[in-house]
Amino acid sequence: MGGIPITALNLLAVPEGVLSADEIGAMLRGGQEILDEAECRLLGGHSIDDNEPKMGYSVTGLVHPDHIWRNSTAQAGDVLYLSKPIGTGVVIKAIKDGETSRDMMEDVLKVMITLNKEASDTIRLVGDPTACTDVTGFGLLGHAWEMAKGANVSMELLVSAIPVVSGARELARQDKFPSGSRRNLKYVAPHLTVSPQVDEFTLTLLADAVTSGGLLVTVKEENAASMETTFSRLEVPLYRIGRVFPGPARLKVSV
């Protein structure tokens, strides 16, 4: 939303007697490293006994009221960008099922621990986008539909331009999706117009539930060249994946 993180509280839930103090310490150190990278100060937190290990942060930040990035303000004629690849959901399930290589695991972890800070800071150099959100649990299609519906616009996504994490396409063809990804597609399906060349596995991959995904951003056409040049100059990843058209709200998936 264009905000800058200032402080955080840690929320830690671990099963008593299952994880060692060293393992819990490693979780806390890893989180602290990311907070340091985000220039966000940890003030404290809360820990509880729970059946499953979980850790997250409640973050407080600041944003100027005239520069809030919303997910409901895309405009017809805008260009649509994505800053990180999709497909982490299907790969994470494969990791849990013991069906991935070490290289595939390292690649997806690298994507997930990459903050959106660099992409967000680079956008600011160009100017506020017309709309922005992050791609997480609803998948790319779910969050794109959220943007289209909120602004009453139509969006076209080009499959060939959408980046995918290593190994995700192969796992998709084997139908290895987590149940959440299937639910995402079922939810958004009534709002889709899909090219005949896009198969079911590719479409489900576009709905794959993402962990720590990138920014989905719309930019005015006249600012697109400056956006792409700035990201390229600073060597920050950015992918042009579609366009925004007049409403009614709809998603079109093309090749």
Which CATH number is 222's domain given?
A: 3.90.650.10
Same structural domain, 125 and 231? yes
Parallel, antiparallel, or unpaired: how do β-strands 41-49 and 4-14 relate?
parallel
The percent of residues above 70 in pLDDT, for the chain, comes to 100
Q: Is the pLDDT of residue 101 over 90?
A: no
Whether 37 and 139 map to the same domain: the answer is no
The pLDDT, as a whole number, for residue 247 is 93
Task: Please indicate, yes or no, whether residues 56 and 125 belong to a single structural domain of this protein.
Answer: no
160 shares its domain with 243: yes
Q: Which helix (H) or strand (E) holds 172?
A: helix 168-173
The tens digit of pLDDT for each residue in 166-208 reads 999 999 999 999 999 999 999 999 999 999 999 999 999 999 9
Residues 41 and 107 in one domain: no
Backbone angles phi, psi at 182, to 5 degrees: -65, -40
Enter the pTM of the model. 0.94
Q: Give residue 216's pLDDT.
A: 98
CA distance 178 to 87: 11
79 and 168 belong to one structural domain = yes
Instruction: Say if residue 95's pLDDT is above 90.
Output: yes
Average pLDDT over residues 150-179: 96
CATH code of the domain in which 21 resides = 3.30.1330.10
Domain count, the chain: 2
Q: Are residues 193 and 225 in the same domain?
A: yes
Please report which confidence band the pLDDT of residue 42 belongs to, taking 50, 70 and 90 as the band edges. very high
Are residues 49 and 157 both part of a single domain? Answer: no
Q: What is the pLDDT of residue 81?
A: 98
**Mean of per-residue pLDDT scores for the chain:** 96
For range 124-137, the mean pLDDT: 96
Mean per-residue pLDDT, 43-67? 95
**Reported confidence tier of residue 76, pLDDT bands at 50, 70, 90:** very high
How confident is residue 113, by pLDDT bands cut at 50, 70 and 90?
very high
Interval 226-254: pLDDT, tens = 999 999 999 999 999 999 999 999 999 99
Predicted local confidence at residue 33, as pLDDT: 96
Residues 48 and 76 placed together within one structural domain of the fold: no
Residue at which a domain ends, from 62, 82, 101: 62
Looking at the structure, tell me whether residues 51 and 107 fall in a common domain.
no
For residues 93 and 156, membership in a common domain is answered with: yes
Q: Which domain holds residue 223?
A: 69-254
Among 62, 86, 111, where does a domain finish? 62
Average pLDDT over residues 211-220: 96
Q: What angle do CA 33, 19, 15 make, to 5 degrees?
A: 105
Q: Residues 45, 121: one domain?
A: no
Q: Is the C-alpha dihedral spanning 69, 3, 119, 105 positive or negative?
A: negative
| pLDDT (mean) for 109-138 | 96
- Per the rule left: phi > 0, alpha: psi between -120 and 50, beta: everything else, 235 is left
| Residue where a domain stops, chosen among 62, 80, 102 | 62
Residue 100 has pLDDT above 90, yes or no: no
User: Percent of the chain, pLDDT > 90?
Assistant: 96
What local confidence, expressed as pLDDT, does residue 16 receive?
87
